[in-house]
Structure 1
């Protein structure tokens, strides 16, 4: 009897069916692998998680504890034995910590290195599952909003007025929203709090004056007024509009009500506002004020509504310091600021520091792609060039030269695989662990102690256990038949923690089939009821790239063939 399969199809697939479990297994191996040699552990997610939180210093900066490496001990029992014995199939995590004193006059304490047992981490079986207390579970992949930037253009409800905006979503830190109204005035929201003019952020990042801003955007001509000796020389500029305010800056003395000390407060009084049309008599006013340079709007922008000019007209700040104070008052909900230096340190920590604000690798990739069309920058903080490019894009939206983004397109959503979910959970565990270490180190004084005496591994272990036992995305494996088991491992959920949706608030648009799903997400297989469109399955040929975006193979068509 012949066993050769006869194919009647006209075309044969040039791409073989991929490993259907690779989406689970490969992502876990990138996070943690028993077979990785110690010198290559730096590439793993577990190593990177420890590097996020270590070294740790106490509040008095007397001691410092650092992470030196880790060791994974193989599981004691096989997956089958763990099922029978009702045990967890996992590896034992031992971490090498070093502890030393920072102050040279501390002669009591001696530097130490020690291996500390932190607990058990569930390990993935070759079938892409986890065994927790003898029960087989699977961690399903999460589809969530990608870090990056999203431009929008929509009608204001109940009116025919268009509103334009941009939402900057970092991997860590406050969401920043930019919104433009019908006049072009562009507002900035940090964490959806009260609005401030968007030009404040430009001032904080280095373009401190009106003149710096308009010249950077190419909106103005620079005229050397001090070189104009007479009204006749000034005459050609009569009728032109000012692009930057003419301010009278002064300092006023105020006594401190508590200490009685005199403090100096800068005040600015506008002489001429932006858009002021120059007249002949203005020559003497400007000369009396010893104005050195004038910034006049270029003729092509005099009649065009521009988002930067409209925003500058409503921006009352006049320098980098005044802009920092305004943002500080917004973010802290303060009415006044006594020390501008405190405001500067706070704003820099919140916006200009990677500890509190981080676009991440994916966020930077998306910003580069959307704003520049190429991978131009690599740093994970917002740059001045980014804010300028965002305002230029909003101007294009405002004038109809560009269109808004589709929020539900898969280029704005990414897959958070099992490896990345475990990475986030380990970060949460290490956050608890380092907080306890910092408290313990702060209580030690004039004594000799070892790393194991200040480390409480219970907080780290409980964070890992909670994820597998109670997490929304950790589910009992569907073992009805081999096909349902495989489908469960390739499931994608838009519900869940860390940026996931809730079924109560998810609208129709999020649940609907989108053309970008073609070849990536199955348009048919989804449950009925409250979860419809929120729980999906990967298409057979779909794969997750290194940034978490879904890809699918395609045939290039040349001359219709």
Structure 2
């Protein structure tokens, strides 16, 4: 079924799929906003805030009482003030966009009853932007959601000794000691407290309040019974009475386990029957190990085992057990933990009870026994009923708790150290530094606070919907096994089975499914339609994973009759993680839509259902790497999700209220509402994203247009008329072409370069600061020593490059001089100095230059200065200058391109348009792809997209084919036949046509599949990767060249490369590679001189790596000597190295490792740079 639907602004698409969407997609970034609001409650009145987030934390820490109890600080309420900066100011000045938090507290003197109420400052909390991100130190960051194991109880069966099973129950609190109950094959039930020491479980039960062993046995269903004394039947059981001899002494105490000796005593006493406990044998074996009978003894036993070196006193033991389990500050199940315990154990304890109760422990022990008997099932820790989402609010709460506890400790210490507390104020006692430090640490260096991926709007959205199993309290890459990474049946509709990284993080970093939501306890929910007696209603419920497990759930596109009843007599449903067939009357729920299974990124892939999952994964990930192009174009073949992503990404400007557009230009749009109010929207122009792509908005409305609330006013980068537009629609042909598309390489037409089809703008930021050094302040100036006027032509009077200048590698962007160490003066200089006063101090050139291989046009300059503008700069920094360079990058050989189906490749050649293969009507194709890239990859979606794209182009349509319920192959064939009949008689219905060779005009031998595919240019651009070096920095220890483009390093000539040269017998090349081109310090210096002077190159010397090896062996105490050619033996000679003295190196104080290595390099190759007679100018052409 297909019909035309409006998408974006003034864009119609032919929509293949159900006409009615019952549930609208939720706001894609709602989880971030929801969580931060939960934490701060900014919209609630200060006196009416719920006990959650920050409010709960402050209520938990306060009141703070002095050690003697005479003074107490009470918390009353907190206020959130508006931010002092705007978002834009924070970006420009590299500051954190934050809002001040104040709290009202009372200092109460209990002796006099005096109450001092005052306001204190609690710190600056970052503001969440409309997009769900934070501006931290001027850069946009995102706090990723953590998928962590939930607090609660978990039953499991593990294999101990061969063939023996150990039954376990683990109680995981929100904070505090973990308890692990073990039932071993010897029938002993022990409990491991906090992974430190094991105690008998019966002792713990008594410490929790069971009065004695008799009550304990009765609690677990023990009944007394009289039994005949038969050794085989009674040995090992518990006796239920004291056995007293004729002298009145107790010979067998009650509740003892009967041994062979005990049976003999019973026989000798002349008795024929004895009272025994009828109870699980576990308790007999456990009580035999547990020598305690009362709660006090049990506490002493726990204390003795946990703290073996401390004196055994009942008070100490009671205090210890209390602090371990009954102090809410140290042990807390948390709201979620209590909820999970109640659900798992079938209890009905109030949610306010956050400690373990005796009922919990008794039910858990019974649960272990049931697990042993097969009456209870073990828990699956990878099930989403047992994993919960911790978002920014809760993660921040946990971090700030640490800061508040430090603050509390400081306040208590100050209460004891301040001599006269009666005159003190709360302000004197409370130090907010630990809170600020906790906030700074969380947003700055937590594993979950990440540099936002802003490559394109899809990357933005996906980053904010990401789930990570790593982070504090989570898994690590090394520890995570296969099970934790694997797709689980409970992921259905909650976590996308496709979108996950390919590397070591596979399965640990995932993405939220389209319709997934998080409930109040942090568990993921998925929407379902309710089914009543075969009738599928329009009622929608959100179910957590444990509830869905028990229900019978059918697929979304199940056939229904006109009344909405299920037609099938046997229905395939999901139940408890597997697929079963049931009659329709048994079905409880139906999925809302097939696309609820996947994430936003996967839902943008048309014909996803025809792609192999591995390739779909690559397709999802590569869409996030697409570079926004200068001319965006939405896909001919979409899925209907494009508008939603563009809307929720925050890249576009949407109308806040209905009205008429009264003013439009490139920088602002004004909309006048019906009330006559004017809303002004300012557009972002050419802002650099975190990844160096452009953030840019352009208006799509005209003056006089009427807009409704939520209508698109301006497109963002990679958005076309309100639809996501990551790439371009190009005419592709699947055929080989002279081997240029071997191994997934891509052949392009020159049209794509000339017409700027794949041209993108990239902005790079370069920064320099002027600091105070030991030798004096650095200065930003145009007056730079030894620099010619031609190098200064683009600098203004302050020494900063002008906007609009074209610069290349090595050009000066900001002139800077730093004071140089004073050199020893000759007596003549001293005399002149004494006469004429202080001579101008020596300075050296430390200007900011365009790095090697870079360049572009200066588009912006930002200057921050402590003295001139009063900017808040780090200590020791007086001025910061940032220069932004823009580059226009056309598509070129070596760039990476991809489709949406994981079909990636590198551009191998760009052909003139006239040489490209062309269609019978003369149209040259744009891209030639290798047909061998399809069959083995099993991503047929790209072929179907190509054919449907051909249909859409020739019919003048844009189409949308939603995942799993889109257009059928037969339907596409039908449309192709129409086109064949109408205009292209050579066309086959599967999209093949005769192509002609552009060079000869001859037809190719076979028909070729041709059509329109949406192809993306990815951020892996050859301009950022290409790199070359002759001389450069060397490692300080091995003296070998550094590696990598960022270090200006060389290419490693490794072990296997050595084998290759050895195989060819190229001994001289090999010797050069391993000596003068690498770590023979003297040799490379002499070689450089020889080349400069035009002399022959001398023989190589001893490589530094050999000296390092000798030194390492000497460090192990081995006397290593060398055998020389003349059979003499000696030590490796210590050559005098032409290196600047350490003292001079220290005076220079290089700012970075790179600079440090570079200074060493220049000294070695060019002599001392401070020496005016150095032979070669380091900035000259010879370098």
Among 194, 198, 202, the residue aligned to 2:205 = 202
**CA deviations over 1:215-260 (Å, ceiling 9, x no partner):** 111122278xxxxxxxxxxxx76558553566799xxxxxxxxxxx
- Structure of greater Rg: 2
* Alpha-carbon distance change, 73 to 376 in structure 1, aligned in 2, over 3 angstroms: closer
Question: Equivalent residues in 2 for 1:215-234 (5 A)?
Answer: 215-221=218-224
| 1:528-550 per-position Cα deviation (integer Å, ceiling 9, x unaligned) | 22211111110011111100011
Q: 1:437 aligns with which of 398, 403, 411?
A: 411
**Local SS of the residue matching 1:552:** strand
Q: Does 2:70 correspond to 1:87?
A: no
Is residue 241–residue 276 contact of structure 2 (8 Å, CA) maintained in 1?
no
Over 3 Å counting, the alpha-carbon distance change for 1:248 and 1:102 in structure 2 is farther
Q: Deviations over 1:29-69 (max 9, x none)?
A: 11114332123224441111111100111222221111111
Task: Report SS of the residue matched to 1:553.
Answer: strand
Aligned: 1:296 with 2:276: yes
Distance 2:195 2:128 in 1: 40
Q: 2:196 aligns with which of 193, 196, 207?
A: 193
Aligned residue in 2 for 1:164: 167
2:361 maps to 1:387: yes
User: Whole-Å Cα distance in 2 between the matches of residues 380 and 2 of structure 1?
Assistant: 53
Q: What is the 5 A alignment of 1:165-314?
A: 165-221=168-224, 238=229, 241=234, 243-244=238-239, 271=253, 273-275=256-258, 282=266, 296-298=276-278, 306-314=281-289
Check whether the contact 1:210–1:245 (CA below 8 A) recurs between aligned residues: no
What is the alpha-carbon root mean square deviation over aligned residues?
Answer: 2.8
CA distance in 2, matches of 1:469, 1:94: 23
1:142 paired residue number: 146
Aligned to 2:744: none
Match of 2:1128 in 1: none
Q: Identify the residue that residue 460 of structure 2 maps to in structure 1.
A: 485
1:19 corresponds to 2:2: no
User: 1:533–1:202: structure 2 CA closer, same or farther, 3 Å change rule?
Assistant: same
Q: Is contact 1:99–1:113 with CA below 8 Å preserved after alignment?
A: yes
Name the structure where helix makes up a greater proportion of residues: 1
Give yes or no for contact 1:210–1:244 (8 Å, CA) kept in 2: no
Do the aligned partners of 1:120 and 1:461 also contact (CA within 8 Å) in 2?
A: yes
Q: Tell me whether 1:112 sits opposite 2:112 in the alignment.
A: no
Contact residue 34 and residue 74 of structure 1 kept, 8 A: no
- Given candidates 374, 385, 407, the residue that maps to 1:411 is 385
1:453 paired residue among 404, 424, 428: 428
Distance 1:552 1:74 in 2: 36
CA distance, structure 1, for counterparts of residue 5 and residue 285 of structure 2: 80
Instruction: Give, in whole Å, the separation in 2 of the partners of 1:360 and 1:83.
Output: 38
Distance 1:2 1:274 in 2: 80
Counterpart position of 2:130: 126
Match of 1:290 in 2: none
* Distance in 2 (alpha carbons) for counterparts of 1:440 and 1:389: 46
Task: Find the aligned partners of 1:331 and 1:135 in 2 and give their Cα distance.
Answer: 48
Equivalent of residue 156 in structure 2, options 152, 158, 165 = 152
Q: Which range moves more in the overlay, 197-206 or 95-104?
A: 95-104
Q: Deviations 1:274-322 (Å, cap 9, x if unpaired)?
A: 24699797499699xxxxxx86233xx5xxx643333123211122111
Stretch deviating more after TM superposition (6-15 or 17-26):
6-15
Distance in 2, matches of 1:423 and 1:138, equals 16
Aligned to 1:265: none
Q: Pick the aligned partner of 1:553 from 527, 531, 540.
A: 527
Separation in 2 of the partners of 1:378 and 1:394? Answer: 26
Q: Does the CA contact (< 8 Å) of 1:211 and 1:243 recur in 2?
A: no
| 2:505 maps to 1:501 | no
Q: Give yes or no for the alignment of 1:329 onto 2:311.
A: no
Contact 2:168 2:368 in 1 (8 A): yes
Contact 1:519 1:552 in 2 (8 A): yes
Classify the secondary structure of the residue corresponding to 1:410: coil
Residue matched to 1:97: 105
1:434 positional shift? 1.0
Instruction: Note the C-alpha offset of 1:396.
Output: 1.0
Figure out how many residues of one structure are paired with residues of the other and give that number.
513
Paired position in structure 2 for 1:72: 80
Please tell me whether the aligned partners of residues 180 and 186 of structure 1 are also in contact (alpha carbons under 8 angstroms). yes
Indicate how the Cα distance of structure 1 residues 221 and 17 shifts in structure 2: closer, same or farther if over 3 A, else same.
Answer: same
Conserved? CA contact 1:521–1:539, under 8 Å: yes
Cα distance, 1:221–1:125 mapped onto 2, change above 3 Å: same
Paired position in structure 1 for 2:448 = 473
In structure 2, how many angstroms separate the alpha carbons of the residues matched to 1:181 and 1:2?
Answer: 65
- Inter-CA distance 331–247: structure 2 relative to 1 (3 Å threshold): farther
Match of 2:751 in 1: none
Question: Within 2, Cα distance between the matches of 1:505 and 1:480?
Answer: 31
Given that residues 440 and 454 in structure 1 are in contact (C-alpha distance below 8 angstroms), is that contact kept between their aligned partners in structure 2?
yes
Tell which deviates more after alignment, 42-51 or 512-521. Answer: 42-51
Which residue number in structure 2 is paired with residue 260 of structure 1?
Answer: none
**Maintained 8 Å contact 1:153/1:403:** no
Q: 2:153, 2:169 within 8 Å by CA — same for their partners in 1?
A: yes
> Structure 2 CA distance, aligned partners of 1:80 and 1:307?
68
The residue that corresponds to 1:344 in the other structure is: 318
| Structure 1 residue ranges without an equivalent (≥5) | 224-235, 250-267, 288-293
**Equivalent pair of 2:5/2:15 in contact (CA under 8 Å):** no
Match of 2:491 in 1: 517
More off after superposition, 166-175 vs 527-536: 527-536
1:220–1:243: 8 Å Cα contact kept in structure 2?
Answer: no
TM-score, structure 2 as length reference = 0.41
Of residues 34, 40, 46, the one that matches 1:38 is: 46
Which runs of 5 or more residues in structure 2 are unaligned? Answer: 7-11, 245-249, 535-582, 588-1183
The 1-side partners of 2:18 and 2:128 are apart by 41
